[in-house]
Each structure stands twice: as C-alpha cells, then as structure tokens.
Structure 1
C-alpha cells in the first residue's frame, strides 16, 4: 500500500492506469461490446450509509486460455475515515491523507467438473 496525500493523486493514478490498459492488446480485448472497467461506490467506514464517498475501481483482464479471470481492485482509504473533517473534505474535493490499496482477485469462470452437459443423450 502506497501512502498518498490527496485524492487528486489517486484519480490521476487511476486515469493513467486505465489509459495504459486501453493501449495494451492483452487487456483491452472485450467480448460482445462489454467493458472491463467497473466502479463501485459505498459509504466510508463509520460514515453515513446515504453518502457513498468510498470508491473502488476494478479492472478486469480477459483470461488467457485455461486461466482464471483476473480483477485488479484499487481503492483509497482515508487515514481517519470516521472524522467529520474527513467527510467534509471529501465532499468538497479537498485533500485527505490516506492509503491507496490494491488487490488482485482471480475468478475461475469455468463450470465445475461435476456439471454435465445436456448434449450427452
């Protein structure tokens, strides 16, 4: 996890990351017009449930043959998410100290080996 000082730095980082993925043949391939960039909004830890200030950006890379799909998840966690000052700063797009978190999820989209096809008759 890298420490950052402003939410603007996070947004710039995500923009650059997304633009690099768009230029990469391996990651920009999509099927049937679907997108591989997703954003999930949720309330901050300890924040009001009606105020989705927490943002997670998920980048899905298409699987190679016989491999799981990889989802790269980035989010920003303020250092003091329960403070009123933090909420007010985020709502007015002001700088907030915190962490950028990154994790990778590997999702196996293949059917289980116990599932049988209807074509066996």
Structure 2
C-alpha cells in the first residue's frame, strides 16, 4: 500500500485542519485520484480517500478487510481511525469488528490502552 498526502505527512494539526477545509472546497484529493485512476487503469489498483489529508493506493482486494481472512480465531477485531465506519464490505466479513473513531494520535493511544487493558 502507498499512502499519498498532498500536503505532506509531517504537517501540523493546524495545517491538517486547514488542508481538510481547502480540500472540501477544491477537491484536491478527488482530482488527484481521478487522474491517477485514468493513468494507471491497467494496473488493477484501488484508490481510497480517507482521513483528513491523504489517500491510499493498493491492489484490488487489499483494503483493510484483507486481513480478516487470516483472523478467524479472534473473537474481536478493532479498527482505529478518524473516519472509521461500519462498511457493508467489512460487516459481511466480520460482524464482530469494533470500530473506534479517533480524532487525534493521543485519542488513538487512549483507545488502544483501554482495549488492551480491559479483560475479555
């Protein structure tokens, strides 16, 4: 998987927030994805816009649900992210997925500590 961030991964939180607003108006990421889909149509790639500042590029079928085929023995699976939701694709493969929406790195750490400190 390749993660592409037009503003750069090392931007500040303020820059992230500003870019998100700008992108909603000017469609920077959707325009980039559209051009890349056209240019690389022969490569069987999926382009997925997510979060505030980036989009992912990966082979078809290799999205976040790809790992689920190898996790049958687990009763719970946790996905973390700022734009996490129960998609139909995810729920058909794993109805026990727990989705935590986190708005910052610190909140993600708090959620992860909670998940791993809570007895089953």
Give the TM-score normalised by structure 1: 0.25
Point out the structure with max Rg over C-alpha.
1
Give the TM-score normalised by structure 2: 0.25
Bigger proportion of residues as helix: 2
Bigger proportion of residues as strand: 1
